[in-house]
Chain A
Amino acid sequence: MKHYSNRYIFIYVTVLVLIVATVLSIIVNRLKPLQDYNKETEKIQQILSAAGYEGIDRNEVQKLFSEISDELVVDKTGAVISRYNSGTFSEGNIRAFDIDDKTEYLKAINGEDYHLPIFAINNNVFVVPVHGKGLWGPIWGYVAVADDGKTIVGTAFSHDSETPGLGGEISSEKFQSGFKGKKIFDRNNNFVSVKVIKGGVTNSNCDPQYAADAISGATSTSKGVDDMLRTCLELYVPFFNNYLK
């Protein structure tokens, strides 16, 4: 076996790492704009799909969105402090699209002041972002609420690293169709959220108006969706009460 000096080994490894790092940073930099565009388009697609606009061509998504959406920002009392529509602000100066809902939810948990983004589609469907924990990583999505302020029109859930075929199914049509038409407020106008029921709603004693079926084999992820809806939608209660009822 050939013997190498320590000096050779150090130089060899340093040079190798430098080359690899340079190549990687060039590639990552080149691909970044494409990835950012993909992420932005995906976010809009999710918002639109929650509101019922399915299967829109990727290239037309951004244009359609700016035409039909009003981006609202509300504070914790539910008052609208900013309104952005097709490129211009009619109130305030914060774009809902640029708000990172995750940081705002964290602020809410820590009792700080926070702003919440809402996307009003055609002025009759109100899409709000939700954010939570799955089994392996974050889960998030959008919930579209009708202008009565309590009926869910549609949802669009996503995940980062849930198991394909199990927890990953939260983004499937089958799971999400269970939320359509469900109510987040009960008859006495108390916030109840929509519970995700393990073993199915029909086998439980929950009111089917306020509950949806969980995914079999993905208990933790289903529970994550349940927690996510309850904690996030609760923050929007003042808005739903003030603005929509």
Chain B
Amino acid sequence: MLLKKYLGPLNKENPILVQVLGVCSALAVTAQVKPAVVMGISVAVVCGFSNLILSLLRNTIPQRVRIIVQLVIVAALVIIVDQFLKAYFYDISKMLSVFVSLIITNCIVMGRIEAFALSHKPIPSFIDGLANGIGYGLVLLIVSFFRELLGSGTLWNHQVIPQSFYSNGYLNNGLMVLPPMALIIIGVIIWIQRSIHKELQEE
């Protein structure tokens, strides 16, 4: 029961598919699998730790400057993640470029702080943040899988569609590398998910 509650964000309470948060960055970084995975991990880390820290501080934060305090903590965590990637995973940080710093504006982070961390104990908040980040990363992974496979014929930068296909007239779908296709794929995933879980369908 407890586990089920925390695993909600992976499926029935998925931040992208059900809560419809953080869609913008999901469109931007999913053209290839590798940056999408690193982005998912980064968001999970930021989301988990910002939830943890703000949950620890929740009884001391004055209501009137609540959002400012949240922003300071989230921004600091994002800068740390960004600097860390630049120092130890230089190549990947270059691929993600500006989108790491844009985690600050990712609605999932602020959304979970407001909706969960400020009213729950630190450990559950941490798990909630982490689970939401992973739920976000999971959708990114699925979307980027299809976009990279069909758009560039590669996965994790390795060629997977054999050259013989191309010689026989197969072409990469150029539309797949453009952001609108990410929106369409997310739409299809939402469609499939709601056909399986009928209770998610709106009246």
Contact = CB atoms under 8 A, between A and B. Distances in A.
Q: Do A and B come from one complex?
A: yes
Contacts of B28: 163-164
Contact of B87 (A23, A35, A217): A35
Contacts of B60: 12
A165 B151 contact: yes
B88 interface: yes
B31 A166 contact: yes
Tell which of B83, B148, B151 has the most Cβ of chain A within 10 Å.
B83
Contacts of B178: 166, 217
A103 interface: no
A10 B32 CA distance: 45
Contacts of B29: 164
Interface in A34-60: 34-35, 38, 42
Contact of B32 (A13, A23, A137, A164): A164
Given A31-B84, A136-B98, A216-B174, A20 B76 contact: yes
Interface stretch (A1-9, A88-96, A221-229): A1-9
B40 to A, nearest CB: 14
Nearest to B35: A164
Nearest to B83: A31
B185 interface: no
A2 B66 CA distance: 13
B113 to A, nearest CB: 15
Nearest to A163: B28
B202 to A, nearest CB: 33
B180 to A, nearest CB: 11
Interface string A204-235: 00000000000011000000000000000000
B164 to A, nearest CB: 19
Contacts of A158: 94
A165 B80 contact: no
Interface residues of B, number: 37
B62 A8 contact: yes
Interface stretch (B5-13, B43-51, B67-75): B67-75
Contacts of B76: 20, 23-24
B95 interface: yes
A141 interface: no
B31 A24 contact: no
Contacts of A1: 63
Interface in B161-195: 174, 177-179
Given A4-B62, A163-B31, 5 more contacts: A13-B68, A27-B80, A164-B35, A165-B147, A165-B151
Interface of A: 1-2, 4, 8-9, 12-13, 16-17, 20, 23-24, 27-28, 31, 34-35, 38, 42, 136-137, 158-166, 168, 216-217
30 contacts: A4-B62, A12-B61, A12-B65, A12-B69, A13-B65, A16-B72, A20-B72, A20-B73, A23-B76, A24-B80, A27-B83, A31-B84, A34-B87, A34-B88, A35-B86, A35-B87, A137-B98, A159-B97, A160-B97, A162-B97, A164-B29, A164-B32, A164-B35, A164-B95, A165-B151, A165-B152, A166-B178, A216-B174, A217-B174, A217-B177
Interface of B: 28-29, 31-32, 35, 60-65, 68-69, 72-73, 76, 79-80, 83-84, 86-88, 90, 94-98, 147-148, 151-152, 174, 177-179
